[in-house]
Amino acid sequence: MIISQKKICYTLDMKIKIRYFASFRELIGQGEELLTVADATRVVDIRALLVERNPRLQPIMERSVNALNHRYVPAETVLHENDELVFIPPTGGGQ
């Protein structure tokens, strides 16, 4: 983690928004939440945090991919202030 020497940081926390859809919304019981997390937190850290908080999410989390600010991203992606993170369970249905 690189922090500018000149920048005065009172806190290294940042706020991100998580939105929940489909099975996530039903399991969590809400459509979105704001989380305060440490600077340089990655998507994969949020995945672990949510599953730790609510172990029933594990099966669907394992089948889901990540969207950050409306784009698919890998789990290693680093988050920034005001990011919108969504876990995307498998879509589709029908043949």
Partner 1 sequence: MEPIIQLTREPLDRDALVAAVSHPSVGGIVVFEGVVRDNARGKNVRYLEYDVYEEMARQQIATIIEEARQRWSLEHVAVAHRFGRLEIGEASVIIVVATPHRAEAFEACRYLIDTLKSTVPIWKKEVATNGEEWVEG
Report the interface residues with partner 1, using CB under 8 A.
19, 21-23, 25, 63, 67, 70-71, 86, 88-94
Q: Which is nearer to partner 1, 12 or 74 (CB)?
A: 74
Query: Considering the complex, what minimum distance in angstroms separates the CB of residue 43 from partner 1?
Result: 15
Query: Considering the complex, what minimum distance in angstroms separates the CB of residue 65 from partner 1?
Result: 10
- Distance of CA 1 to CAs 4, 62, 75, Å? 10, 28, 18
Q: Which is nearer to partner 1, 29 or 92 (CB)?
A: 92
Q: Who's near 84: CB < 8 A, 6+ residues apart?
A: 16, 17, 18, 19, 68, 69, 70
